[in-house]
Chains A and B, each alone.
Chain A
């Protein structure tokens, strides 16, 4: 009974957290890109545009639910469902932290501790291509069809280097269980350099990480690989014919996939929730310092604000940050809060790279993208895998 109850609570918490993140990830992206592009970004709805995502979702919810007359209705409606469901499914196996004790109950910060979690995530993520292809095909329109074709080819092509890049750290970890993979990355070289897979001897997975990051841009259809929805060629690609919540579903799925794949990169290469430097050197206090610093910064700008409304809003933001800093300052909460903090910080960093790249790079051409996958990325991934296997075989892995 307890088991089901705890799982239900965890699922609800995860869902709530995830939906909020998805909502606000878009706001953060808009703000980040805006600042890259010397703009302000959303600023009208709520202080600093903080209610913009709410307004957007409300708008999309209340829009007329339009189904064009020429579509295959069943598949047309199935596609967005599929996209969201598959995008959210992966979170079932992703661990956010180690085993913790909360109110006397020991539990893992994870919904299901699957022994084949890595395979599960890969399988689910390769299913997402169905949503895209179905959307493009069921729309019965030319731009979506072209978009879906591109998408299918692209996602299948990049699946290979992605899977190969994943395989190499698995050789080091010798398990498919995500929690165990993270635990095997525990420890520090010279008491400082973390034993994350990306640094781990005998075969540091730096190349693998680079291949993984490039492939993850392609897998999530993001700039510079956003060809399936290249708006300047194919209008909106596979979701051209979708509107209201169905459009929002694709949008949500894209962001959910971004988070999943960033989480995978964190777990496989960057040591998951393990701190970048040992607790003996004060890594447990890093969140406090960070949030405290952010709070001080917000307070400083609030007191010296150029705009009148910042004088009111920024101190509130500062207070929020200080509260977080205080929360993290209680040593009792450290085992509970610090691991998820590091995990989310790493995921956030990767997400920020997504946004930064979007603000910087132009887009590949379709054939160049395919050539890049098969001609460059794939051989590199294969060589890396073979070298890793050799090194592990000779020097012994975990």
Chain B
């Protein structure tokens, strides 16, 4: 699978040559390139890709594949404005694993990583300000996890639970 992606993508080939352990897998589906990146190498990979023209971080999000393991996929959508090429990076994480923050690579990552932390509870190491962004500060759950009921838990607020 990876080889087909490589043939289509000069930058990916270069990345694989430079850092052989970083790319675990890849696929080309419906015209979209996806690379599975080793979570430990994500910052370096992003740094490299940014230098190779992927100056814009389109978004960071996550997918929860509960009950499968590893449970989480953190998904990065990169965009090369000069060549008009998009690229998707994915890192697979288990429940309590954390991942390096890329907010030092793109400043835009700051809020996206906060959002992923807020909604999925995935920690980003080295993030300057990893606070909840959408939900109240005293909220305890991470609602986009598949094991969080859609109607919420009855006593969601820490304050109410204490009382």
Q: In their complex, do chains A and B touch, with some C-beta pair under 8 Å?
A: no
Chain A contact residues, CB within 8 Å of chain B: none
